[in-house]
Structure 1
Amino acid sequence: MRTRRFLAAVALPLLLATGCGGDSDTTADDPTPASSEPDTASPSPSESAAPAGPACADVWVEGGMLPAAYAGCVADGALVEPEALSCSSGQTIVRYAEQYYGVLGGKIKFAENLAQDPDYRHSVSICRG
């Protein structure tokens, strides 16, 4: 019996102290645990699904070098797969946006229209052997 009175004597002032005064909006009977708040540090599903890779505008620059391990680039939030043409020599010509082309690990060239560009057509004919 003495233990119950002691606990009641200790618990009552603590209960009253936590329920009184202050600028807090919360009450002692608030059933919502603090851990149920949304985690703002973790990415949303749309952010985590964003494609990884270099921006196409950074890769496809006339006179720049096309990476030997080029696996595509990102434009307008979407991955642009390499448009590749395998050559009989083992090299690969990659095209982008119908205006840029280059051999993996080689210099990037620009043409207004690849289908009509004599340099590009010549490169393709050599590639196919």
Structure 2
Amino acid sequence: MPRLVVLTVTALLLLAGCTSSDGNGRGEDGQPTAKPPTTKTTPAPTGPACSGIWKDGATLPADYTKCVDGGAYGLQDVTECQDGTKLVAYSDTFFAVTGGRISKPKVAPMQDTPEFGKAYTACTGE
């Protein structure tokens, strides 16, 4: 068993020696060393605050696409309507057709309410 430990430690030391750099991006053998991976940063989402858009009785802007909530885009489902508008359900709490009045049904789940069903049927024709 100790022999296995010695072989493992020796192998690790050899591997570490193969990847050391001379400061010029080259290893001890003169070959280029691997570059460290670059990290990509995702830009913060931009747009209006969800709390400023989604209010019962307010009008959903006709050009609405997304809103920001807590540094991320708000949770929403979008259905393309026959007339070119969109039916947007936000956070399973509010819904509206773009350019239309925002509704907040008092019953959950919102998608099971007659109010939402009527808006969905008008949107999709189903």
TM-score when normalising by structure 1: 0.57
* Corresponding residue of 2:123: 127
| One-letter identity of the residue aligned with 2:113 | D
Number of equivalent positions? 84
* Corresponding residue of 1:114: 110
| One-letter identity of the residue aligned with 2:120 | V
| One-letter identity of the residue aligned with 2:72 | A
Task: Indicate how the Cα distance of structure 1 residues 89 and 49 shifts in structure 2: closer, same or farther if over 3 A, else same.
Answer: closer
Find runs of 4+ consecutive structure 1 residues off by over 6 angstroms. Answer: none
Task: Indicate how the Cα distance of structure 1 residues 72 and 79 shifts in structure 2: closer, same or farther if over 3 A, else same.
Answer: same
More helix by share: 1
C-alpha contact 2:75 2:90 (8 A) present in aligned 1: no
* Corresponding residue of 2:17: none
Note the residue ranges of structure 1 that are not aligned, 5 or more in a row.
1-44
* Corresponding residue of 2:82: 88
Q: State whether structure 2 residue 52 is matched by structure 1 residue 50.
A: no
| One-letter identity of the residue aligned with 2:101 | K
Quick one: distance in 2 between partners of 1:103 and 1:126?
Answer: 10
Note the residue ranges of structure 2 that are not aligned, 5 or more in a row.
1-39
| One-letter identity of the residue aligned with 2:88 | V
C-alpha contact 1:114 1:121 (8 A) present in aligned 2: no
Matches within 5 A, 1:6-45: none
* Corresponding residue of 2:73: 79
Q: Deviations over 1:60-88 (max 9, x none)?
A: 00011111111201111112365211122
TM-score when normalising by structure 2: 0.58
Quick one: distance in 1 between partners of 2:44 and 2:122?
Answer: 38
| One-letter identity of the residue aligned with 2:50 | C
| One-letter identity of the residue aligned with 1:59 | I
